[in-house]
Amino acid sequence: MARFILKRLVQSIFVMLAVAFLAFSLFRFVGDPISQMTGVETSVEDQERLREELGLNDPFVVQFIRFTGDILRGDFGYSFRTREPIDEMLLTRLPATLELGTVALMISLVAGIPAGVYTALRPRGIFSQSILIGTLIGVSIPTFVIGILLIFLFGVQLGWLPTYGRGGTVEIGWWRSSFLTVEGWRSLVLPALTLGLFQLTLTMRLVRAQMMEVMRTDHIRFAIARGVPWRSIRYRHALANTMIPVITIIGLQFGGVIAFSIVTESVFQWPGMGLLFLESIRFVDIPVMSVYLVVIAFFFVLINLLVDLLYFAIDPRLRVRESA
């Protein structure tokens, strides 16, 4: 167990180093930082002095180590565009994206898992068939169109829900939360649905495939032959084995949620990290882009590490193999 955890930890650290290297190369070689920071009126001597002061003339390795050290200490530097410190920009926007992503993931799991199990157990039913056709159309509709549709339906036509920004938020320390006010929850509904619907089709298809696979395995056939009641076969024997990969699904979906939150945040003007990243691309704000990359990769690695550990805790077969 300890060896397994240690191995995964070391792997994760190497992945993070690789990402940091990528982000550093982006920051250092895409465009000249000095020409971004100074105007035309700055003399060449001043530019050279600034270059020396910022350590841009140091050897590559020294610069990379300094960059990594700064990031580890939480010092992310300054944005080229707004001149604000990036760590502050991130801290104000991180809660918005995390809350949106969490609710979207919940929608995807709470609706997707039962739908997947149902369509696997009754593949020929009319209801299952319509769900499956629905997911095919769902995959074909881009996220931004789903967002526009929801805004049009619930915001413009019915006027039930707000379609813009986060509404009421409450600050707990630096964390600005939508979860504590009614207005905040109302603002959350449409963006979270938009983000969750696409993931939902994914969850459903994966759970369905897994469940159908499990139903064909020997231990289920033996259970049928033994005369175990259907209810028990389906919801105890089969479901338990279906649920193990669901943990992996959560890990996989995290990437999708992060990526599509860029689109969703743009449609709903949700002040999160995705919108920040989009702005940084439009204005070629390289430091913000590279920090975004590092932060997203960190969450990626962290979640995958947790998924692996959970796997280990839940699936007894893995533990047996490890100790043998």
Partner 1 sequence: MLTRLVQSEGIWLFTRSPAAMLAAVVTIVIVTGALFAPWIAPTDPYDLSSFSLIDGLLPPAWEEGADPRFLLGTDDQGRDLLSSILYGARLSLGIAAVAMAVALVLGVSLGLAAGYLGGRFDAVVMRIADVQLALPAILTALLIDGISRGILPAALHDDLRLAVITLAIALSLWVNFARTARASVFVERNKDYVSAAIMMGQHPVRIMLRHILPNIVGPLLVIATVDLASAILLEATLSFLGVGLPADSPSLGTLIRIGMQYLLSGEWWILWIPTVFLVVLVVAINLLGDFLRDLFNPSLR
Q: Tell me whether residue 76 or residue 277 sits nearer to partner 1 (CB atom).
A: 277
State the distance between the two ends of the chain, measured CA to CA, in whole angstroms: 12
Tell the residue number behind the tokens 């919108």, with chain if given: 275
Q: Give per-residue burial for 32-71: e unless 16+ CB within 10 Å, then b.
A: ebeeeeeeeeeeeeeeeeeeeeeeeeeeeeebbeebbeeb
3-state class of 176 per DSSP? strand
Residue closer to partner 1, measured from CB, 161 or 258: 258
Of 26 and 91, the one with the shorter C-beta distance to partner 1 is 26
- Identify which of residues 9 and 136 has a Cβ nearer to partner 1 in the complex: 136
- Smaller CB distance to partner 1: residue 148 or 243? 148
Distance CA 277, CA 165 (A): 17
- The number of CA neighbours under 13 Å toward the Cβ of 254 is 19
Secondary element (H or E) of residue 323: helix 316-323
Least CB distance to partner 1 at residue 293 (A)? 7
Rounded least distance, CB 280 to partner 1, Å: 7
C-alpha 264/C-alpha 274 separation (Å) is: 8
**Distance of closest approach, residue 88 Cβ to partner 1, in angstroms:** 22
Find the helix or strand (DSSP H, E) in which 50 lies.
helix 44-53
Q: How far is the CB of 177 from partner 1 (least distance, A)?
A: 26
Query: Which residue number, 27 or 237, has a Cβ lying nearer to partner 1?
Result: 27
Residues binding partner 1 (CB under 8 A): 26, 30-31, 136-137, 139-145, 148, 151-152, 156, 255-256, 258-260, 262-263, 266, 277-278, 280-282, 284, 286, 289, 293, 300
User: Which tokens hold the place of 227?
Assistant: 């005369």
- Find the shortest distance in angstroms from Cβ 233 to partner 1: 24
Minimum Å gap between C-beta 108 and partner 1 is: 15
Query: In 3D, which of 190, 198, 308, 161 has the Cα closest to residue 247?
Result: 308
